[in-house]
Amino acid sequence: VVGSVVLISLSYLGYNKLVIEPKDNEAISELNQAQYYFEIALNSSNSDSLYKRALNGGEGRYGFLDIIENYSGTSASKLATYSAGMSYLNMKDYENAIKYLDQFDSDDIMLSALSKGAIGDAFAQLGQNQDAYDYYVKAFRASNNSYSTPKYLYKAAMLGAELGKNSSAIKYFKRIKKEFPEVSEAQLVDVQIGRIENIK
């Protein structure tokens, strides 16, 4: 029994060292080039072609979609899934944005919040306001910080008011004012609360 346990442990360590680690390193190397195109696209006027290159690869290097397919289970594949979804969102391909961002799974609570918020943005662009609202709520619940939390509280409150969820909208606006008074969204809260109360 002891021999079997030792053999299994050594096999596991050997597999990690000889298979998983090299695969991770190779995937990260490929990801760097795709991420480079993505970063340039964010600040470019000709962004669609750069997002496509980030997704599909170029100059003999993999893009996000190749990394997802060929390096499944690696940390690089997870990040590629997020970046692919964000690329599609920026290209206004909202269905694919939702598809990839919904597959993204990470222990990074900030990226988790941003991915859920981005799914909300995609649904909003498709006119699916209830789905957008649900994802904005998931986004601000995923992480409590001064960047993503007030941003998605505000979006959830605005959509909530459109959907007739006035009490929830007011609650979210008041939370922004109380917990995040320094953010830009906080300056708009009183006007929005007044608008909703007048509707009521």
Task: Quote the tokens at residue 31.
Answer: 């990801």
Residue 174 to residues 48, 101, 110, 137, 161, Cα–Cα distance (Å)? 39, 29, 23, 15, 14
The pLDDT profile of the chain, 200 residues, written as one tens digit per residue, is: 454 555 555 454 454 454 555 677 788 888 999 999 999 998 888 799 999 999 999 788 899 999 999 998 888 999 999 999 999 999 999 999 999 999 998 888 999 999 999 999 999 999 999 999 999 999 999 999 999 999 999 999 999 999 999 999 999 999 999 999 999 999 999 999 999 988 75
Cα separation, 191 vs 157, in Å, equals 13
Q: Which stretches does DSSP call E strand in the chain?
A: none
Q: How high is the pLDDT of residue 8?
A: 53
**Which pLDDT does position 167 carry in this prediction?**
95
What was the pLDDT predicted at 12? 46
The pLDDT score that the predictor gives to residue 29 is 85
CB 97 within 8 A of CB 122: yes
pLDDT of residue 200: 55
Helix (H, G, I), strand (E, B) or coil at 45: coil
Strand partners, 58: 61
